[in-house]
Amino acid sequence: MGRIFEVRKHAMFARWDRMAKQFTRIGKEIAIAVKAGGPDPATNPALRRCFQNAKSVNMPKDRVEAAIKRASGKEMENYDEILYEGYGPNGVAILVETATDNHVRTVANLKAIFNKGNGTLGNSGSVSFQFKKMGVFKLKPEGLSQDDLELELIDAGLEEMGEGTGENGENVLVIRVAFNDFGNMQKALEERNLTPISSEVEWIPGTTVQLGEEAAQEVLKLVDKIEQDEDVQKVFHNLQ
């Protein structure tokens, strides 16, 4: 089993409280999941996924419960999930997932960040064609027969399986499926009593751009600025 292809990682949220940003992101994901499918994780797969991701970043249980309670209230903000596309320095493609209650604010902030970072915020479809939207599950590899598991999960839509890296640099088993098979894979793992460390929807680049260290740092500086915006959930790019 080889190492799965991963785009270059960098130190996220280096200039501010990384944990607070993660909690805010997951809190919005919980709000969206509860609004769509209700507050009971037994009947809401999206909410179960939020619980897994909350656990992966050590989000306290009381914070999770408070987020569910807020999302169940009548005065909770309605967040729209919007994908923005653009280019960073040296032609690096960037996708920005947002959850916002104010579209005008979000697009204005992102346009300013891209411009200051020598990038350009583009139109819908200008960048996303270079990526594939996929479900990504990360499991602890201990005690698993990867060859056997690979055969078992083919019917659930498995496209790629290999070694990867977790949030804290630990070794993980990475499973990827087409976006439309996300629910099938989640169900297949649950049936086998396998609880993922995390389960996310990610945009995987078809090809990557390789830059020198100085040029790469310019791109990553822009990515870091984008991630700091309050409406931004995740950022994807094709820098190797």
Q: What is the Cβ-side half-sphere exposure of residue 149, based on CA atoms within 13 angstroms?
A: 22
CATH class of 131-205: alpha beta
In the chain, what percentage of residues exceed pLDDT 70? 93
> pLDDT at position 189, please?
95
pLDDT at residue 58 is higher than 90: no
| pLDDT winner (highest mean) among 58-62, 66-70, 105-109, 236-240 | 105-109
Torsion-angle region of residue 157: left (phi > 0), alpha (psi -120 to 50) or beta? left
Task: Give mean pLDDT, residues 23-34.
Answer: 93
**Which amino acid belongs to residue 221?**
K
Tell me the residue length of the chain.
240
Domain boundaries, the chain: 18-72, 80-129+206-237, 131-205
| pLDDT winner (highest mean) among 4-8, 76-80, 125-129 | 125-129
Tell me the CA end-to-end span of the chain in Å, nearest whole number: 21
Measured from the Cβ of residue 165, the count of other Cβ atoms closer than 10 Å reads: 15
pLDDT at residue 28 is higher than 90: yes
User: For the segment 183-238, what is each residue's pLDDT rounded down to a tens digit?
Assistant: 999 999 999 999 999 999 999 999 999 999 999 999 999 999 999 999 999 999 99
> pLDDT at position 199, please?
93
Residues 128, 50, 188, 139, CA torsion sign: positive
Average pLDDT, the chain: 90
pLDDT at residue 12 is higher than 50: no
Q: Which architecture does CATH list for 80-129+206-237?
A: 2-Layer Sandwich (3.30)
Topology match between the domains 80-129+206-237 and 131-205 = yes
Determine the Cα–Cα distance for residues 40 and 188; give it in Å rounded to an integer. Answer: 20
Determine the Cα–Cα distance for residues 139 and 199; give it in Å rounded to an integer. Answer: 9
Determine the Cα–Cα distance for residues 164 and 169; give it in Å rounded to an integer. Answer: 9
User: For the segment 128-154, what is each residue's pLDDT rounded down to a tens digit?
Assistant: 999 999 999 999 999 999 899 999 999
pLDDT at residue 15 is higher than 70: no
> pLDDT at position 74, please?
73
Say which CATH superfamily domain 18-72 falls into.
Integrase, N-terminal zinc-binding domain (1.10.10.200)
Range of lowest pLDDT (15-29, 32-46, 116-130, 174-188) = 15-29
Determine the Cα–Cα distance for residues 233 and 201; give it in Å rounded to an integer. Answer: 11
User: What secondary structure does DSSP assign to 146-184, as a single string?
Assistant: HHHHHHHHGGGTEEEEEEEE-TTS-EEEEEEEEGGGHHH
Measured from the Cβ of residue 210, the count of other Cβ atoms closer than 10 Å reads: 9
pLDDT at residue 34 is higher than 60: yes
